[in-house]
Each structure stands twice: as structure tokens, then as C-alpha cells.
Amino acid sequence: MRQSHRGIVATVVLALSVWGLTSPATASEPPTGLVPADQSSFDLTIGMPSDLPDEEELIKDLASSPFPREVSIIGGTQTTVYTLPGGLEYTSEEPAFSPRMSGGSNSYGVFVKFTPTEQDLIYAGAGFALSTAICLIPAVGLALCTVSGAIITAASVFIAASGKCSNRLLVYPFVPERNRCA
């Protein structure tokens, strides 16, 4: 697990340096002392930007990592700032997510369904935005509105312990042992 985090950090640093966050002078010239005395220059191949993971893949890896992050929604933009080892920060901006939550009831009781995107928001710490959306679910929203914080907490615990569901996560606020992927 620790090795994959190093890989993410290395990929972020390499991607940022190739995408222009190093000055042209330092990116194209080797440090003094690294060029053999009998050569006036040398070739360094680090790969083309197309060889690097795309930004969407990078953000997906960061979202599933344990690195600390801050999520804010201002206007129609969701901004996520990931704090990487060594104080390096990576900021991702995308259109704010509009929850399409649903819920219902069955023989186990009342439940709330969370999509994979909603699960990502919960994992990233933006469950407060989903808490309001719970109150707007037709038929069951009013009953669940008063316990929306507990629902978000139950979803957080499930995602942390079992990982994100590939389809939907069903959270039963009154029977938590029934929480499951569906």
C-alpha cells in the first residue's frame, strides 16, 4: 500500500514538472557536474507527456488515496486541494456535482442509495452537501432528514472499511448491519 502512494506522488511530481511547473532553464539543462568533462551536452529522455497518466487518471488515483484533502464548492465549481508529502499540493477543479440521490424501503427498512460519484464525495469529506440532498428524496426524505448526519457517517464507515461500491451503496440508517453494495 505504501509503495502505491509513493508511485502516486512520483507520478504527480513528474507530471507537474513535464506540464510546465519547472522553469525552461532547469528543465532543459543538467545540473553542473552531471555532464562528463569530455561532452558539451548529453541526451536525457524522460518520456513525452503522452506517456504519462492523463489528469483524469491522476485525479482518480488521488481521490482513492489516503492523502489529506479539502473540498469546497463555490458557485458552480468544486475545488479539491490534495496535500501530498513534502507540502506539495495538487488542486483539481471541476463542475460542482448535483446529487441524484434516491432511496426507498424494503423488508429491511428505509434505505438511501449512493452512486459511485456520491461515494467519492463522502470519502473526500463533502458529505455535508449530500446531507441536504437526503432531505429532498421523494417519499422518504422527510423521515431521513433528521438522521442525515448518521446516514453520511454510516456511509463513510462502510466506504472506509469495505471500499467504494462499483454500482450503488445502500445505507440502512436504522439497521446498519444491512448496509451493502447493490
For the chain, the structural domain boundaries read 2-95, 102-181
What is the predicted pLDDT for the residue at 37? 54
Those residues whose C-beta lies under 8 Å from the C-beta of residue 170, and which sit 6 or more positions away, are 111, 112, 113, 178, 179, 180, 181, 182
Instruction: Identify the band that residue 25 occupies on the pLDDT scale cut at 50, 70 and 90.
Output: very low
Is the full-model pTM beyond 0.85? no
* Mean pLDDT, the chain, integer: 73
Sign of CA dihedral 147, 114, 110, 155: negative
What is the predicted pLDDT for the residue at 53? 67
pLDDT at 126 over 90: no
What is the predicted pLDDT for the residue at 99? 57
Per-residue pLDDT reduced to its tens digit, 63-106: 888 888 888 877 777 788 989 999 899 998 887 655 566 888 88
Sign of CA dihedral 114, 119, 125, 126: negative
The most confident of 40-54, 84-98, 128-142, by mean pLDDT: 84-98
Please give the Cα distance from 155 to 119 (Å, whole number).
8
What is the predicted pLDDT for the residue at 178? 93
- Please name the amino acid found at residue 182: A
The SS3 call for residue 110 is strand
What is the predicted pLDDT for the residue at 158? 93
Instruction: Identify the band that residue 180 occupies on the pLDDT scale cut at 50, 70 and 90.
Output: very high
What is the predicted pLDDT for the residue at 74? 78
What is the predicted pLDDT for the residue at 78? 79
Please give the Cα distance from 40 to 100 (Å, whole number).
61
C-beta separation of 178 from 172 below 8 A: yes
